[in-house]
Amino acid sequence: MTVAPLEIPDRQKLWPWLLGIALASIAWVAVYSQLSAGAEWLVAGFGLSRQTPFGEAVHFFFYDTPKVLLLLTGIVFVMGIIQTFFSPAHTRTLLSGKRQGVGNVLAAALGIVTPFCSCSAVPLFIGFLSAGVPLGVTFSFLISAPMVNEVALVLLFGMFGWQVAVLYLGMGLLIAIFAGLVIGKLNMERFLEDWVQKILAGQTAHPADEKISWSERFQAGGRHVREIVGKVWPYILLGIALGAGIHGYVPEDFMASFMGRDVWWAVPAAVVLGVPMYTNAAGIIPIVEALIGKGAALGTVLAFMMSVIALSAPEMIILRKALKPTLIATFAGVVAVGIMLVGYVFNLVL
Amino acid sequence: MQEFKVLGTGCANCRNTIALIEAVAKEKGIAIRLEKVEDLPAIMGYGVMSTPGVVIDGTVVHAGGVPTRSKVESWF
């Protein structure tokens, strides 16, 4: 392999990126504005009519798939760039020594923009604590980071409009802040596993901060797209296909009888049902949209979605390595209560 | 001989990091010792907060995500 000369000035590397981004943006807008026409054209091209269930399902699929994938690619690219400004180490420095309250709000907000992977939840958790971030504040971060993520927000925006996306963002932050405050007030530090308590007395490493150039930030954006979109597209296709089926074939108001807003037990049932399920927002939201179209209440369905994302059994098994069962149960209980409250509020308001 | 340790709990990024270091070492024809550290208390002992992390001869040189190829090359 030939090694690229290392001394290309950054400015020169930047031009291809800027040009590429400009062209991609134009193409993006052009395609996005023609989605509905394109779907109609395809449905007609197959000799189908939107009056038939099958035609309606096909239209749903060919309209929603490109729309969601376009939105996702754009936003994930931007998020990849934003995340280069927020490393976990940086976030930790911002949060260390912060008091309850202010710290919880800040932690929940930083949870949106800090890169986070549930496989490093435990190291992150301990890293925060060892730097003097209070337990409750750490939990606010740990709840917000997976729940309020760009994939969920993009899909909600694409399928329900910006109001629902903003509402989800606000409610997700509120749950993270509220749960963190409650856990902080309960003084549960003694329910950390013994090896964690020992480490907390030890040292922390500080890998030197590196200067990041803009072309590297753009590269990070591109990498983020490959990572996220590359991982979730099959779920999105599957989700939309399922959603399309429901859209075309399930009778109107079918869901109203057991997922409608008058059914009081639907919200807790949705939360409980969500715990053993582990999927990403991408797979679940298209199904969610179709259910709502058939009369399911938005609050109930969102509670289900939040529960699937924030209260997953696999993540709790990972956290079990560092937390004693009492603390895990408290964490799950507080978050579940928060999600149920959000479900009821949505059902009441909308 | 340089001694590399890749810290991580076995996620895909950790395996990619190991593969990348191996590939670069092979390309450069440099023999290294490469070890995978999966034990959480051991990982935390290095103070690394986001995995995968890379340790060379006892010093943490990288944490969080797969390192870029040019970064790996600079380690040799």
> What are the residue ranges spanned by the domains of chain B?
2-74
Q: Looking at the partner chain, which of A115, A126, A196 has a beta carbon nearest the beta carbon of B64?
A: A115
Q: Write the burial class of residue A202 (CB in 10 Å: 0-12 exposed, 13-18 middle, 19+ buried).
A: exposed
**Could you tell me if A195 lies within 8 Å of chain B, comparing CB atoms?**
yes
Q: Which of A26-35, A281-290, B43-52, B57-66 has the lowest mean pLDDT?
A: A281-290
Average pLDDT over residues A259-267: 76
**Is A120 in contact with B40 (Cβ distance < 8 A)?**
no
Q: Are B5 and B37 in contact (CB under 8 A)?
A: yes
Q: Looking at the partner chain, which of A120, A204, A321 has a beta carbon nearest the beta carbon of B51?
A: A120
Q: Looking at the partner chain, which of A87, A126, A207 has a beta carbon nearest the beta carbon of B60?
A: A207
A228-261 pLDDT, tens digit per residue, is: 888 888 888 887 888 788 777 777 666 666 677 7
**Is B49 in contact with A120 (Cβ distance < 8 A)?**
yes
Q: Write the burial class of residue A66 (CB in 10 Å: 0-12 exposed, 13-18 middle, 19+ buried).
A: middle
Pick from A249, A226, A229: which is nearest to A237 by CA? Answer: A229
**Could you tell me if A221 lies within 8 Å of chain B, comparing CB atoms?**
no
**Could you tell me if A204 lies within 8 Å of chain B, comparing CB atoms?**
yes
A114-129 pLDDT, tens digit per residue, is: 877 766 778 888 888 8
Rounded CA-CA distance A140/A184 in Å is 10
Q: Which residue of chain A has the CA closest to B9?
A: A119
Structure tokens at A245: 């089926």
**Is A117 in contact with B46 (Cβ distance < 8 A)?**
no
Q: Are B48 and A205 in contact (CB under 8 A)?
A: yes
Give, in degrees to the nearest 5, the angle at Cα A117 between A20 and A300. 100
User: Hey, is B67 helix, strand or coil?
Assistant: coil
**pTM greater than 0.90 (yes/no):** no
Question: Which B residues 47-66 touch A at CB under 8 Å?
Answer: 47-51, 60-65
Q: What pLDDT score was predicted for residue A4?
A: 47
Q: Looking at the partner chain, which of A89, A119, A195 has a beta carbon nearest the beta carbon of B49?
A: A89
Q: Which of A41-45, A168-172, A257-261, B11-15 has the lowest mean pLDDT?
A: A257-261
**Is B63 in contact with A207 (Cβ distance < 8 A)?**
yes
Q: Are A119 and B9 in contact (CB under 8 A)?
A: yes
ipTM for the complex? Answer: 0.72
| Torsion angle of the four alpha carbons A176, A223, A127, A142, in this order, in degrees rounded to the nearest 10 | 10
* Chain A nearest C-alpha distance from B60 (Å): 6
Which CATH architecture describes the domain B2-74? 3-Layer(aba) Sandwich (3.40)
